């Protein structure tokens, strides 16, 4: 049986060119003992993958040029030499960017049993959902009644962070760009602020208007002007969970940081970077808390779905244009 998969054949500088991604085909070897063969139904594309394309080890190993790219995926076992995963089992695994994956059983997870569409385990109940939950609870240590600011607030992670915060918070404000994202935020009872066409001073003024008392928690997905403005609006003892800094991911030359880092001192604030994989031991706690809310339709999660394996690189590149609302997915 053949597998079709994407490879990267050079390290991008700046925004990756579509031509750097190549669709290749290879004959799969016979299944070894303990392995399964999986027909993927959903592939995840995520901003963190940009970091794996640089050829430098950051918090995760870089992608190997010419080898199949990796990422989260949902699929069905179509052939098995692993007792725990018989044919027909729906699983989540990291063999994405391809149609047929073959991997050892110890790198497969059975999908949990909540009454939700299977692709939810790549989004609201997968890595992005867990990232929102871990950032708010384990890094920012959000408390009942805290005022919470979220950048990238209509993205896969941000859209969950604002809703989880809203359920327990005081004022929750989301920063986003396009009008439909702002509208979605308002529809969920979140105060929406646009960063578009605003410099740090103007964005600061807009945030002050939305929440004059300032923020106890800032959930950071973006960086750049959002971070500079957010620093101006912190309350004493504020916590910043740095989940991502997407504004800078495609920069060939790094931009200067915010000129007001002294606010960390003035407001005795804490800024902490985190990687969701470090907190994966708490995934069952997250599932137990958030799974029933999703099954009950209490949490609104958006998906932007692109059809067909061939479109995977395009779906990935759209992440950096702010083109997705909620989780960006490829359906096979």
Binding site for its own copies (CB under 8 A): 58-59, 223, 227, 236, 242-245, 248, 254-262, 264-275, 278
Q: Minimum distance between the CB of residue 58 and its own copies, rounded to whole angstroms?
A: 5
State the minimum distance, in angstroms, from the CB of residue 232 to its own copies: 12
Residue 54 has φ and ψ, to the nearest 5°, of -85, -15
Instruction: Check residue 105 and give left, alpha or beta (phi > 0: left; psi -120 to 50: alpha).
Output: alpha
Nearest approach in angstroms of CB 225 to its own copies is: 13
Smallest distance from its own copies to CB 139, Å: 9
Q: Among residues 16 and 95, whose Cβ is nearest to its own copies?
A: 16
CB 278 within 8 A of CB 303: no
Q: Given the complex with its own copies, which of 29 and 254 has the nearer CB atom?
A: 254
**Integer Cα distance of 326 and 314 in angstroms:** 16
| Least distance to its own copies, CB of residue 251, Å | 9
- Own/partner contacts of 139-146, CB < 8 Å, gap of 24 or more, are 139/239, 139/241, 139/272, 139/274, 140/217, 140/218, 140/219, 140/239, 140/240, 140/241, 141/239, 142/168, 142/169, 142/216, 142/217, 142/239, 143/216, 144/168, 144/169, 145/169, 145/170, 146/170, 146/216, 146/217
Shortest Cβ distance from residue 264 to its own copies (Å)?
4
Query: Under a CB-based contact definition with an 8 Å cutoff, are residues 192 and 203 in contact?
Result: no
Residue partners of 179: CB distance under 8 A and separation at least 6: none
Choose among 101, 83, 85: nearest CA to 40. 101
The residue among 27 and 253 lying less far from its own copies, judged by its C-beta, is: 253
Nearest to its own copies of 95, 258 (CB atom): 258
Query: Measured in Å, how far apart are the chain's first and last C-alpha atoms?
Result: 17
To its own copies, the closest distance from the beta carbon of 290 in angstroms equals 23
Q: What is the largest CA-CA distance in the chain?
A: 63
Residue 258 or 326: which CB sits closer to its own copies?
258
Nearer to its own copies, 213 or 278 (CB): 278
Of 155 and 313, nearer to its own copies (C-beta) is: 155
């Amino acid at each position: 049986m053949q597998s079709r998969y994407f490879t990267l054949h050079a390290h991008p500088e700046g925004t990756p060119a579509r031509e750097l991604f190549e669709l290749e085909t290879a004959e799969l070897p016979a299944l070894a003992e303990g392995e399964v063969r999986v027909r993927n139904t959903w592939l995840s594309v995520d901003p963190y993958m940009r970091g794996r394309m640089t050829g430098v080890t950051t918090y995760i190993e870089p992608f190997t040029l010419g080898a199949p790219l990796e990422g989260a995926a949902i699929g069905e076992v179509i052939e098995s030499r692993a007792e725990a995963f018989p044919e027909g089992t729906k699983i989540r695994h990291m063999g994405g960017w391809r149609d047929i994956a073959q991997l050892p059983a110890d790198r497969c997870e059975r999908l949990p049993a909540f009454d939700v569409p299977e692709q939810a385990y790549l989004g609201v109940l997968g890595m992005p959902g867990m990232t929102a939950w871990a950032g708010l609870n384990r890094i920012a240590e959000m408390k009942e009644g805290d005022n919470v600011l979220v950048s990238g607030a209509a993205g896969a992670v941000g859209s969950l962070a604002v809703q989880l915060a809203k359920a327990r918070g005081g004022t929750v404000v989301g920063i986003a760009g396009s009008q439909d994202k702002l509208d979605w935020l308002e529809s969920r009872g979140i105060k929406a602020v646009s960063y578009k066409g605003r410099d740090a001073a103007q964005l600061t003024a807009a945030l002050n208007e939305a929440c004059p008392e300032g923020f106890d928690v800032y959930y950071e997905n973006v960086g750049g002007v959002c971070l500079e403005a957010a620093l101006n609006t912190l309350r004493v003892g504020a916590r910043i969970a740095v989940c991502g800094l997407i504004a800078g991911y495609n920069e060939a030359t790094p931009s200067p940081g915010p000129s007001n880092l002294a606010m960390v001192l003035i407001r005795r604030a804490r800024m902490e970077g985190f990687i969701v994989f470090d907190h994966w031991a708490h995934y069952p706690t997250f599932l137990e808390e958030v799974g029933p809310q999703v099954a009950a339709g209490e949490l609104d999660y958006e998906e932007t779905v692109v059809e067909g394996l061939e479109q995977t690189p395009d779906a990935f590149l759209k992440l950096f244009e702010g083109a997705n609302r909620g989780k960006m997915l490829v359906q096979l």
